[in-house]
Chains A and B, each alone.
Chain A
């Protein structure tokens, strides 16, 4: 239960709307019960009065008749208002939850996320956060309002007959206490299983759909369909269990409530308080007992959701309550201006998740100095650790020992924004966001979005000016095709929008680097998998751009090596040799061999 606390704490900000919802739900329940009870009493009382002429004339029927009409309208109105208020509050909570989750997620580093696939993270965040909306809407509100209504019923009834009041409200109170607990425990297992089975089915479904070419070509369709059918059966079986619990909860509620109505009627039939026989009060009490099912209805069923809420909360907490293991010095005002890079005695190993002891060394005793403005290449086979070395500079990972200095200051001493402002990266994989072309480019520009404008026209003017900057960059990287057409920067990219080819994506990556003018440029095999023409164009552009910058490129090919001031050969986590292109061709056998396309 304690896992829910961080989420309940988030409620604080929405307390006003939430209390309004709670209040309205209490009013709605009270007026519903009041309407039936008053009607029953009025009916019986007037029937008794109708028996004698005198009583008929003295009977005040205006007040109860008016009361009945008032309650019927109050009930409708408060029910409507309650729904609006509680839902409004829930959605505000959801927004808050998403923002909170994102905030927590942001500082987590790659090693925090290790072993958790991104699809998993989405599942956790999106669906778990949506599940958490039950917490207020379906659990807490009905529970609290039921309690207050029971209290009100008790005091009202006790005025007539304490004995009856105790019987009715205490038996309802027992149900109020027992039903949630009972159905929480009954619903827990099926709830967990249902989530797991659904996830399992989705995973299988995705791999079936993604690999359908292979599956049909290897005549494995039947086998995979069989697998899918089995997981579907599992999913349905767990849903069936949930449905059984729900059916049981309804049956149990009808049973208990029925007995309560019966006993109240039976007891009240011999007298209510000082009224012996009870007269019209019997109808009032009887109808009150009948109407009390409205209090319990939302409670019994809803508590099946508690277990899924707790599960969701546990998973969200698991992910978000990690302490970020890479911390930036946010107080620092230092910035990277020149672009000196210095690695000293770097050791690094990835922690193996399954067995923490067995970690394999990836980087060993790396010592490397790059002066501002130098163009340096790290050359080595896939898996030699060169990408890891790069990710240490951007602080995606942290070295186990040794230090990295930028402009003579250890990287730990920079704030995150100083570090990202000082470094541009062009990587092998460029992520295109689903958003407009403009969004995809401006994210690389520092401080966009923070500017405030007095009016829309001003904002539009600033945007148009910036669009021209973007257009010129796109022209430079050879994407002028994208700037054709109407409102080119509003063109939607990514999922559901224009698909970019591999080369185009890479050019967007280069464009982002051009927009992000930093003294250090890191290139992670920026032309891998591109055709020769594109490769040449992009490298030419990057070298022009990096003319006065420090450039560190990692590669496993000799492309553009002759333009480098220094080339480091990397092998199994160590720097093996270094030199310029001309020197290495003559002195290093492996390099020469690569050069002749023999290796």
Chain B
């Protein structure tokens, strides 16, 4: 990662810290208090040792110090507890906030954007990547402040006692951040690479598990063993490269901590033996000062060392921030910017008309998918959209659903679509795609989708309409029959029937259909097709279809190719006229004949 980007991301991360509330500061306060309590503890212990070793006092004479120490211990325990709690709270609030933002953004961008990546990788962003932010706010940020504050306090306490000891601490201290930056930079970069390897690795393992059946059919299970081993090994060497650096940075810190203890011990020892004579302010150095400073020396480096151990939290957070910032800052090009929020509504008690003029539909990254095209769909007209794949039929439908941005004009009952409140508009739509999605839950929940006004009778009636009621009735739980994750227990045909029943409950004014029978067996295809025909009789509908033989009843057929409308008309007109429709038609029947060889002739 180049430095400006990392800086930007760090800045972004810091901007988010307001979501933590005052818990971030509270954490730092507890940390500072812990530091002060360590000063007091060092003072008490140094006094005790000095009193007994040098002054040769009896234990009783130091009772006050022992009692002081006794009281200090619970205070330190309580501070540690409080600090841990408040740092968790800070991270928790932040994660809640960011997750909310991310989900809001995904909802705003809509399904067309979400489909651009597999659901699994979105889930990783929403779940793991946001979890990765936690330690940055709960640990790294507070520690950064403490790493400045605690050493300073210790220096303030040490300098008045002995300037040489203070100087030893002070001179080694600036070296630490320098080394940390040098080492940390490499570690951050390596960490990023490692993160990639990690996801690839678990992806690899998952992929092979999914294809286990295929691998077994080709007897490749044993061979795959080697692949998994080598992938895992390459992950190991990658990770170790990162860790070597990360450990080096903490080793540097430990080295300074250890060496400064050694230097201090030698300095004080030699001073006592009068080999050295500097650092004090006139009076000679006492054992109290020696022990006091020696006890504080490890504490002087501890916050920095802690920061070293939290350094990976920063690297992790930056890795996560990259994906999160990209998502949250994503702006859809070509979105029609209305100065006011879309609030218009359409008359819902009448069938809809659609009028498109110079309509252009864009993908979410801004490339032109459809258009410019113009067409009209009259009230209660059933219109078919046909054309080779990639001709823009689905994109047009997505624009109507409000999932893709458009330019030009698209009027619904005379009102511009982009100015209509989206949720309100979608209430008027029924939609059925070729790949139905049912949710984990009961059949009833899947039909009502949260609409509590639907009665079981209505649900049953709709299920009968799509000829699946018999199947559901057989189940012991009936409408409460659970649909598993990934629609387990249902065939595609059954799932599509339930999805159609669900669409029928909507009392919509406009029915949008995207090859609803494409992946069905003949039986289901027939049921679905005839149900749709009945349901859309007194309704405006727009259907994408590849079954040209089923389009006789359509009022209008729009033939699309490469994002443009190339032909329009009813079945008979198009059938007679030369053009794309006719070509497609002939192609079909020609193929039909080659497959089931001249069966007509035999009868």
B268 touches A46 (CB 8 A): yes
B429 touches A220 (CB 8 A): no
Q: Which residues of B contact A236 (CB under 8 A)?
A: 92, 95-96
How far does the alpha carbon of A153 sit from the alpha carbon of B96 in the complex, in Å? 47
How far does the alpha carbon of A259 sit from the alpha carbon of B519 in the complex, in Å? 73
Nearest to B252 among chain A residues (CB) is A76
B437 touches A211 (CB 8 A): yes
Q: Which of A526-542 contact B (CB under 8 A)?
A: 529, 531-533, 535-536, 539
A283 touches B53 (CB 8 A): yes
A450 CB-CB contact with B under 8 Å = yes
A205 touches B127 (CB 8 A): yes
CB distance from B499 to the nearest CB of A (A): 8
Q: Which residues of A contact B602 (CB under 8 A)?
A: 582, 585
How far does the alpha carbon of A215 sit from the alpha carbon of B440 in the complex, in Å? 13
Q: Which residues of A contact B120 (CB under 8 A)?
A: 206
Of B92, B203, B251, which contacts A76 at CB under 8 A? B251
B272 touches A50 (CB 8 A): yes
A495 touches B203 (CB 8 A): yes
Can you list, as one digit per residue, whether each of A71-102 has a CB less than 8 Å from chain B (1) or not (0)?
A: 11101100110011001100110110011001
A5 CB-CB contact with B under 8 Å = no
B233 touches A246 (CB 8 A): no
How far does the alpha carbon of A595 sit from the alpha carbon of B522 in the complex, in Å? 12
How far does the alpha carbon of A80 sit from the alpha carbon of B183 in the complex, in Å? 14
A218 CB-CB contact with B under 8 Å = yes
How far does the alpha carbon of A561 sit from the alpha carbon of B597 in the complex, in Å? 9
Q: Which of A179-187, A195-203, A568-576 interfaces with chain B?
A: A195-203
Known A39-B294, A533-B591; contact A72-B262, beta-carbon cutoff 8 A = yes
B74 CB-CB contact with A under 8 Å = yes
Of B45, B219, B264, B401, which contacts A446 at CB under 8 A? B219
B205 CB-CB contact with A under 8 Å = yes
B92 touches A417 (CB 8 A): no
Q: Which residues of B contact A76 (CB under 8 A)?
A: 251, 254-255, 258
B337 CB-CB contact with A under 8 Å = no
Q: Which residues of A contact B69 (CB under 8 A)?
A: 258, 262, 265
Can you list, as one digit per residue, whether each of B389-411 has a CB less than 8 Å from chain A (1) or not (0)?
A: 10000000000010100000000
Most buried by B among A103, A119, A495, A557: A495
B595 CB-CB contact with A under 8 Å = yes
CB distance from A130 to the nearest CB of B (A): 8
B49 touches A44 (CB 8 A): yes
CB distance from A238 to the nearest CB of B (A): 12
How far does the alpha carbon of A139 sit from the alpha carbon of B81 in the complex, in Å? 23
How far does the alpha carbon of A106 sit from the alpha carbon of B215 in the complex, in Å? 9
Of A48, A69, A106, A430, which contacts B266 at CB under 8 A? A69
Secondary structure of the A contact surface, majority rule: helix
B226 touches A65 (CB 8 A): no
How far does the alpha carbon of A203 sit from the alpha carbon of B119 in the complex, in Å? 11
Can you list, as one digit per residue, whether each of A52-64 has a CB less than 8 Å from chain B (1) or not (0)?
A: 0000100101001
Can you list, as one digit per residue, whether each of B24-57 has a CB less than 8 Å from chain A (1) or not (0)?
A: 0000000000000000000001001100111010
Q: Which of B315-323, B357-365, B483-491 interfaces with chain A?
A: B483-491
A219 touches B272 (CB 8 A): no
How many residues on A have C-beta within 8 angstroms of the other chain's C-beta atoms? Answer: 152
A443 touches B215 (CB 8 A): yes
Of B73, B270, B597, which contacts A562 at CB under 8 A? B597
How far does the alpha carbon of A122 sit from the alpha carbon of B423 in the complex, in Å? 37
Known A48-B54, A207-B439; contact A212-B110, beta-carbon cutoff 8 A = yes
How far does the alpha carbon of A106 sit from the alpha carbon of B219 in the complex, in Å? 10
Q: Which of B483-524 contact A (CB under 8 A)?
A: 484-486, 488, 491, 493, 499, 502, 506, 518-519, 521-523
Q: Which of A427-482 contact B (CB under 8 A)?
A: 430-431, 433-435, 443-444, 446, 448-450
Most buried by B among A76, A99, A255: A76
B596 CB-CB contact with A under 8 Å = yes
A532 touches B485 (CB 8 A): no
B251 touches A279 (CB 8 A): no
Known A76-B258, A512-B218; contact A50-B449, beta-carbon cutoff 8 A = no
B259 CB-CB contact with A under 8 Å = yes
A536 touches B73 (CB 8 A): no
B334 CB-CB contact with A under 8 Å = no
Q: Which of A156-164, A221-229, A335-343, A371-379 interfaces with chain B?
A: A221-229
A333 CB-CB contact with B under 8 Å = no
Query: Which 5 residue pairs spanning A and B have beta carbons closest together?
Result: A258-B73, A247-B84, A72-B258, A532-B591, A39-B265
Q: A213-B433, A251-B81, A420-B219 are in contact. List 13 more A-B contacts (CB 8 A).
A: A38-B265, A75-B258, A84-B240, A84-B243, A95-B229, A121-B209, A205-B127, A262-B66, A278-B53, A434-B203, A535-B595, A559-B596, A562-B596
Q: List 22 A-B contacts (CB under 8 A).
A: A40-B49, A43-B265, A43-B294, A46-B268, A46-B272, A50-B272, A50-B273, A69-B259, A72-B261, A99-B229, A126-B205, A210-B119, A213-B111, A216-B110, A217-B426, A254-B77, A255-B73, A269-B52, A282-B52, A290-B45, A433-B214, A585-B602
Measured CB to CB, the residues of B under 8 A from A are 45, 48-49, 52-54, 56, 58-59, 62, 66, 69-70, 72-74, 76-78, 80-85, 88, 92, 95-96, 99, 103, 106-107, 110-111, 114, 118-120, 122-123, 126-127, 202-226, 228-229, 232-233, 235-236, 239-240, 243-244, 247-248, 250-251, 254-255, 258-259, 261-262, 264-266, 268-270, 272-275, 286-287, 290-291, 294-295, 298, 389, 401, 403, 423, 426-427, 429, 431, 433, 437-440, 449-451, 484-486, 488, 491, 493, 499, 502, 506, 518-519, 521-523, 546, 587-588, 591-592, 594-597, 599, 602-603
